[in-house]
Amino acid sequence: MKKSFIISSLALAIAATLAVAPKAHAASSPSQTAQCIMVSTVTDNTAYQINGTTTWTFHRDCAETSYTASAGVWDNNPPTCSGSTANCAPSNQPTPPPAPPIDEHGPNSIEHHAQDDRCTFFCGGTLDGWNYTNTATVNGLNGRGNWTFTYSYSVTTVGAVNEATCWTCAETGGTVDVNFTGFIASESFLSNRNTNTKKYSFTLLDSLGASRVSGVIAQLQMYDGTNWNDVGSAMTFTDPLPVTSTVADYTYYGNTAVYGNSAVYGSLDAPTPGNNLGGRLISNILTTAPDNFAGNNNDLAAGNVHEADYSGSFTGLTEAGLYRISVSGIVKDNSGTGSQNFSVTSGNLIIGGCEGCTPACNP
């Protein structure tokens, strides 16, 4: 299945919440182990419009092709510096570092603006481009001082689009079905101080070969302007949730539940108290430092990278508003003696908001 992990996009776009505070354990054993959990839920589409008995569906991936993002360029202004007078002296100024990557999921991203422009695609009109800046900080020539350079970015568009561009329609009686897929994964890090072994693993089976993922449910929620409220009943999945192997080399970044031995939290691919690196490809995690265990280098091809998949549909929605899906459950730790709750929400999807026009439906 397609892996998609959204870290920040449209308002509340990819929300992740800790169900239980991280648990810290004493570091008395030669082996120190910690784990984190990643939950990714993706809806088929991000926007719908109901016109009478017709349901329109917005295809954001189509809309994103109407924008072109340019790489960042240093603005040629002198960098700012924090540090001592000597470390911030002009003679210690470094060369400009590479520009940070183009914003892919944040407020300056194409996906964010395409979603905001959905009504322009629906009714027709002109798409506006935008500019933004980002910074990169490096040390001075002597390795000291923090020098910050500013980079300028621009995004252009195709200009005018016709009505119903990147929207499709169907006669449904005036309802929306929200289909979704997702997966649960877990990263474990082991540090053995006696052998100096450092090892990552992505298994989800216990010592008896049973799934360590249980009690998984999905709940549709709607925003009332202040709070997120449950809509209807939760969807319950097979318990325990079946585990499969994946060969997909996706970016892993734990978004809930860092737990285990706090001494090695900093090695987990997760936000603080993890390494806060923003995620790495699983192949890189298994083959580069701090991992030094050659025996797991081929875990992807060998079927030792696991995930627990789920999918479903919330059908018959008619009310306009902002929606999301909350997925919660439990993952047992590697030893099977403890467990960790999780609760993570998907990105948002919207029904309605483009009532200013009524394109003809020609499916």
Structure confidence by residue, pLDDT tens digits, 170-197 = 999 999 999 999 999 999 999 999 999 9
Q: What is the pLDDT of residue 333?
A: 84
* Mean pLDDT lowest among 109-118, 126-135, 212-221, 251-260: 251-260
- Let me know: does 155 contact 67? Beta carbons within 8 Å: yes
d(CA 19, CA 155): 38
3-state secondary structure of 22: coil
Q: Are residues 157 and 41 in the same domain?
A: no
Q: What is the pLDDT of residue 278?
A: 87
Q: What is the pLDDT of residue 334?
A: 76
d(CA 342, CA 353): 32
Query: Residue 141 above 90 pLDDT?
Result: yes
Encode pLDDT of 41-63 as tens digits.
Answer: 999 999 999 999 999 999 999 99
- Let me know: does 156 contact 175? Beta carbons within 8 Å: no
Q: Which two tokens stand for residue 264?
A: 């090695």
Structure confidence at residue 8 as a pLDDT band (50, 70, 90):
very low
Q: Are residues 150 and 185 in the same domain?
A: no
Q: Are residues 346 and 228 in the same domain?
A: yes
Q: Are residues 244 and 292 in the same domain?
A: yes
β-partners of residue 138 are: 147
Q: Are residues 73 and 33 in the same domain?
A: no
pLDDT greater at residue 2 or residue 165? 165
Q: Which whole number is the average pLDDT over 269-288?
A: 95
Q: Are residues 97 and 43 in the same domain?
A: no
Count of domains forming the chain: 2
- Let me know: does 198 contact 267? Beta carbons within 8 Å: yes
Q: What is the pLDDT of residue 57?
A: 98
Query: Residue 12 above 50 pLDDT?
Result: no
Give the domain extent around 126: 62-161
Domain boundary among 161, 196, 227: 161
Tell me, what amino acid is at 159? G
Query: Residue 22 above 80 pLDDT?
Result: no
Q: Which whole number is the average pLDDT over 195-213?
A: 95
From the list 235, 231, 249, 248, the residue with the least C-alpha distance to 318 is 231
Average confidence score pLDDT of the chain = 91
Q: Which whole number is the average pLDDT over 129-152?
A: 97
Q: Are residues 191 and 131 in the same domain?
A: no
Neighbours of 349 (CB within 10 A): 23
Q: Are residues 208 and 249 in the same domain?
A: yes
Q: What is the pLDDT of residue 338?
A: 78
- With 0-12 / 13-18 / 19 or more C-beta atoms within 10 angstroms meaning exposed / middle / buried, residue 215 is middle
- Let me know: does 40 contact 347? Beta carbons within 8 Å: no
Q: Are residues 224 and 323 in the same domain?
A: yes
Q: Which two tokens stand for residue 325?
A: 């899906």
Q: Which two tokens stand for residue 151?
A: 């980079």
Sequence-ordered list of residues with C-beta below 8 angstroms from that of 195, at least 6 positions apart, any chain: none
From the list 200, 178, 233, 206, the residue with the least C-alpha distance to 330 is 206
Q: HSE on the CB side for 359, CA within 13 Å?
A: 24
First to last CA, the chain: 28
Q: Are residues 227 and 264 in the same domain?
A: yes
- Let me know: does 161 contact 124? Beta carbons within 8 Å: yes
